[in-house]
Amino acid sequence: GRTAALIPAAGSGTRLGRGPKAFVEVAGKSLLARSVAALAPLVDEVLVALPEGLTLPEGVPARAIPGGETRQESVWRLLHATSADVVLVHDAARPFLPEGVVQALLEAVPETGAATAALPVADTLVRGERGRWADLVPRAGLWAVQTPQGFRRELLLRAHAAARAEGFSATDDAGLIARLGFPVTLVPGDARLFKVTTPGDLALAQAVAAVWDA
């Protein structure tokens, strides 16, 4: 079957403070251009949701549609813009995407219909209350969820439709599947897949780009 990469890139980048985040450049290349370049050779089509009124920069091999008010709404719109059997949803804000992670996801999707890149948590975790250590959260078995996430398109559509009907919102797509009780396969992600969220992340991205682009 056909595979599409769906890239939500319609956010405003409030926490970064540099304008629409997908258009922010790291070492001369935008976060969006980096994400598209990683996926384009591995899928049949690339669809990007952009902020209202903005257009794709020259030379980015993708098709653009207007995004929505939330990430979830942007993905909902992307899902309706393709007829691919399998979709890979990937945040534009994660510009360093190793090919091996995409391949592992594409292999995992047929098993359960849903899979996400994720990394075992390395830090000690604690629940805080009013700035004080309340209780330890054992980290054994805990994973930090990344993108890309791969799905049979029909399954993700169904999960989105259910979430909309119930007014449920989530920051990722695999969560909408798990919420319905369907299995989601965890595929080893990569530290370089961190999300560029704050100005500090941009400094880290510059350092990674120096190695990535070499």
The residues binding Mg ion (CB under 5 A) are 11
Judged by CB under 6 A, does residue 115 bind ligand CTP?
no
Q: Which residues pair with 5 in a beta bridge?
A: 46, 88
Judged by CB under 6 A, does residue 91 bind ligand CTP?
yes
CB-based closest residue to ligand CTP = 11
The CA distance from 102 to 23, in Å, is 23
**Measured from the CB of residue 141, what is the shortest distance to ligand CTP in angstroms?**
25
State which residue, 11 or 189, has the beta carbon closest to Mg ion.
11
Cβ pair 110, 181 in contact under 8 A: no
The CA distance from 72 to 168, in Å, is 10
State which residue, 70 or 112, has the beta carbon closest to ligand CTP.
70
State which residue, 52 or 135, has the beta carbon closest to ligand CTP.
52
State which residue, 167 or 181, has the beta carbon closest to ligand CTP.
167
Cβ pair 115, 109 in contact under 8 A: yes
Query: Which residues inside 20-49 make contact with ligand CTP, applying CB under 6 A?
Result: 21-22, 49
Taking CA atoms, 22 is separated from 4, 19, 35, 94, 185, in Å, by 19, 9, 9, 9, 28
Judged by CB under 6 A, does residue 92 bind ligand CTP?
yes
Judged by CB under 6 A, does residue 175 bind ligand CTP?
no
State which residue, 13 or 189, has the beta carbon closest to ligand CTP.
13
Total Cβ atoms within 10 A of residue 87: 29
Judged by CB under 6 A, does residue 81 bind ligand CTP?
no
**Measured from the CB of residue 178, what is the shortest distance to ligand CTP in angstroms?**
19
Instruction: Tell how strand 3-8 and strand 86-89 pair up.
Output: parallel
The CA distance from 8 to 164, in Å, is 18
Longest CA span, the chain: 52
**Measured from the CB of residue 211, what is the shortest distance to Mg ion in angstroms?**
27
Contact residues for ligand CTP, defined by CB under 6 A: 8-15, 21-22, 49, 67-71, 74, 91-93, 195, 197
